[in-house]
Amino acid sequence: MNTFTPASTNPAKQKMLRGEPAIGAACGLGAPLAAEMLSRAGFDFILVDNQHGVWTDETSTVALRYICLGSAVPMVRVRWNDFSAIGQLLDRGALGLVVPMVNSTEEARAAAFAARYPPRGGRSSGGALTLHFGSDYDQWVNDQLFLAVQIESVQAVEHAEEILGVDGIDGCWIGPADLARSMGVDRSTTAGAQAHREMILRVAEACRKTGKIAGISGDVDLRFWVQNGFRFITASWDGGLLLEGAKQVFNFLSMD
């Protein structure tokens, strides 16, 4: 079970700042117990996906609390870059935040402003649901929070260095599928895969230049991304892990 002190509240962020990869899993099935089970499996963080998952406000709240029963850091992806949506999920106990579809410095500044308390931002106080973090939560959360913006369009890649240079942005989380659609490439072809990979590596270079953490939803080629400087990596998601586990059972049963 997690124990929360200012020195150890977000070990996933601290690991990334040391230059080590933090490996996590996304949860989209809307099952808080699944999030808890994955937190006990050894992942550095569990990402409750409010953008593409089937979470409600209530189930997100429960999942963020259940994740704390394991060793992983509770993180979320918000539905949209919205001040209220960001504040609500932080109030429910998220210590990491992924904001989708950030294409400009203005959008990055809006996310940073919403995510942190004054004087570093404009987040409203009201953390009654963060009592499990201790009475001093307000004093350390600005430093311990990990805020990543999603770079997932050609426009965002073209402006990645400026976006990542915004104060309060800790790093990025590249969305490979949306980036490929924005580029108009087919990743199943050699040429498309190469162009796509080169575009992603441009973002990694922008992270190096700005001193920010490169991240990716990388359910394939994990070793390649780690070797190329990515530190915030989701290795899989709850539905995919469930499906793969089921397939392994039937593969075993079909063996002679």
What φ, ψ does residue 162 adopt, rounded to 5°?
-70, -40
Catalytic, out of 52, 132, 159, 196: 52
Whether 132 is catalytic: no
Residue that has been written with the tokens 């709850």 in this structure: 238
Q: Which 3 state secondary structure label does DSSP give 97?
A: strand
CA 127 to chain centre: 21
**Amino acid at residue number 247:** K
Q: Give Dmax (Cα) for the chain.
A: 66
CA distance linking residue 223 with residue 226, whole number of Å: 5
Classify each residue of 137-161 as buried b or exposed e, where b means 16 or more C-beta atoms within 10 Å of its C-beta.
Answer: beebbbebbbbbbbbbbeebbebbb
Give the other-Cβ count within 10 Å of 174's Cβ: 26
DSSP strand E in 135-203: where?
146-149, 171-172
Q: Which 3 state secondary structure label does DSSP give 95?
A: coil
CA distance linking residue 155 with residue 204, whole number of Å: 15
Active-site positions?
A: 52
